Amino acid sequence: MLFDTIGALTPQKVLYTMKKNEELATVKKLTHINNKKRIVLNEMGWTSRVYIVDNGKIVFKFPRNKKEQKAYEHEVNVLKLIKEHEFNINVPCIHWIGEDNAYIGFYGMQGKSITTEAIEKLSEAKKRKIGTQIGLFLKKLHAIDYKGQNQSNESNEIEGFQKSFCKRKRVLKKQFNKNELDALEDLVTSLLQKSAKLGIKEVFCHDDLGYNNILITDNYEVGVIDFGDAGIYDNSYDFIGLEDDVVLDAAILAYGGDEVLREKIAIRQQLLPIMEMLFLIDRKDKEGVEKCASKMRIHLKQMAAKP
């Protein structure tokens, strides 16, 4: 049987990823919606194709390849876990799971993803409303006693990041002069030392809480999606994607964070453009790499200008 509900999933050994026409047929059959105008396909994600039904009332994710299909098992387990908890914001309510995790479907995630441009146009009061909701959500999320398999840990993340940087130096040399590259390498290699000095507070994190995974309704109510990378990490990880200072400050205050948390967030935010750049190098996204490099050069100049 191709279609399964959450309570009737039977794991299989053979993985099979669908074609787009099969995906659309699946969405129509499960939702009983035949009007194609009510179903919008979003192909922007690297790992999944997403079908948005009725402006987000229902969302389906289909993996692009067998590797991502296998990784869905972790996300499914996480979504089952958070379903047991009540949050102040909207989170995915998983309802459909395909055989072999061929797809997963959710209820109730209306709203549009935040963009930097959209946030900059908001008043301080609206930014604080958004940030406060995120902070309260993270306070509850981080208190969950997670017993599942962890995706990674602090030491592995740092070691992997450093190796990735060294491996891609040849490409980075095309974007930065020697002094800039030396400064970047110093930032990368100093992260482990700075993290050890500040200490690590490992909690259950979303771990990909950037603007693309935060939804906002017309009333500025927040929703959070994409829990595929969730696991045990330092609590600062879930704040580094909050680019706006007002949103970030409101989130930290609502969370009850201290100056140590603020410092750890600042350290990781310095490295965020480098991490993004390494990811885009692997994806051979030349335009994206150049944009990240431009941001990083500005940041390096600002650092060098500080007394």
In this predicted model, what pLDDT tens digit does every residue of 252-295 receive, in sequence order?
A: 999 999 999 999 998 888 888 888 888 888 888 888 888 888 88
Question: What's the confidence (pLDDT) of residue 149?
Answer: 66
Instruction: Classify domain 6-110 by CATH architecture.
Output: 2-Layer Sandwich (3.30)
Which residue ranges make up each domain of the chain? 6-110, 113-305
Q: Tokens at residue 172, please? A: 């980075």
Whether residue 22 contacts residue 30, with contact meaning beta carbons closer than 8 Å, is answered with no
Instruction: Classify domain 113-305 by CATH architecture.
Output: Alpha-Beta Complex (3.90)
Residue 9 has pLDDT above 50, yes or no: no
Closest CA to 198 of 146, 293, 266, 269: 266
End-to-end CA gap in the chain = 66
Instruction: Give me the percent of the chain exceeding a pLDDT of 70.
Output: 90
Q: Does the predicted TM-score (pTM) go above 0.85?
A: no
Residue 127 has pLDDT above 90, yes or no: yes
Question: What's the confidence (pLDDT) of residue 17?
Answer: 67
Cα-Cα-Cα-Cα dihedral sign, residues 302, 193, 143, 60: positive
Closest CA to 168 of 277, 64, 246: 277
Lowest-pLDDT range, 27-41, 100-114, 165-179? Answer: 100-114
